[in-house]
Amino acid sequence: MNIRETTRAARIDGKAFAAGVRARVADHVAELTSVQGITPGLAVVLVGEDPASEVYVRNKARQTREVGMTGFEHKLAAETTQAELLALLARLNADPAVHGILVQLPLPRHIDTEAVLAAIDPAKDVDGFHVSNVGLLGTGQKALVPCTPLGCLMMLRDRLGSLRGLNAVVVGRSNIVGRPMAQLLLRDDCTVTVAHRHSRDLEAICRGADILVVAVGRPRMIPGDWIKPGATVIDVGINRIEAEDGRTRLVGDVDFDDAARVAGAITPVPGGVGPMTIACLLSNTLTACCRAHGLPEPEGLTA
């Protein structure tokens, strides 16, 4: 009998999972504050007035407060010079109350993004974008890990338990998701293939995956018949498309309905990977705080 007609993938609920992560972070923060007298602090820097960034920053600020952390918001005018931004980062680097620093991207065109990211203290780089953290992750050492791949890893571990020996395919090689995701899977002893737009016979590569992580920004690029029966699919893509009624809606890089007939488990879009990003930002801030004070790291909330 055709497996596509008899099975339906388990839905990996990222919204519920993220709520659980935030609850665990809040418990750790409460213990740190009451026992150690330490409250983790997260500084978020926004330059300019990009509407999407403003909404995202508001959500970060609200969730920071909800888990008991101290939030430091710095909203700067679009005309802020690079020198002024770097001076602010230097002050935040030196502030012991600030354990995590995040500069909201994209930055205005007159500011060199790489220079700004390089100016953040790697120990406070809760986005995991500093070249020092990238290098530490790549060499298997302790690092602060980019939030989205960390969230994907948490969900995979929760779903599958040990990842040892599984064939993992990551479609996409960005510095934000694809590359760090591959490194994290290697650290968990997967056999990892990184595929991209120049990969030959992408269909066959995907079909060999026990774990398939897709992060390319192309709506419904991966159909169900590219997926190995029973595979776990993590769809990182968030694409806005026009629906038949003329409205727009969000879809992933994987054709969800088609893939759900084949996969063992799959993340939806929206409601899958997306909610995990801010949850892991808070987790990274907690981790950075514990490391700064020589305290044990929160179990299950780090890579």
User: What is the set of active-site residues?
Assistant: 60, 104, 127
Residue environment code for 59-86, b if the CB has 16+ CB neighbours within 10 A, otherwise e? ebeebbeebbbbebebeeeeebebeebb
Alpha helix ranges (H) inside the chain: 3-6, 14-31, 51-66, 82-94, 113-119, 131-138, 147-160, 178-187, 202-207, 256-259, 274-292
Residue 78's nearest CA partner among 57, 33, 48, 35 is 48
CB 258 within 8 A of CB 223: yes
With a CB cutoff of 8 Å and minimum separation 6, the contacts of 138 are 183
- Cα separation, 40 vs 297, whole angstroms: 13
- Cα separation, 300 vs 303, whole angstroms: 8
- Cα separation, 145 vs 301, whole angstroms: 11
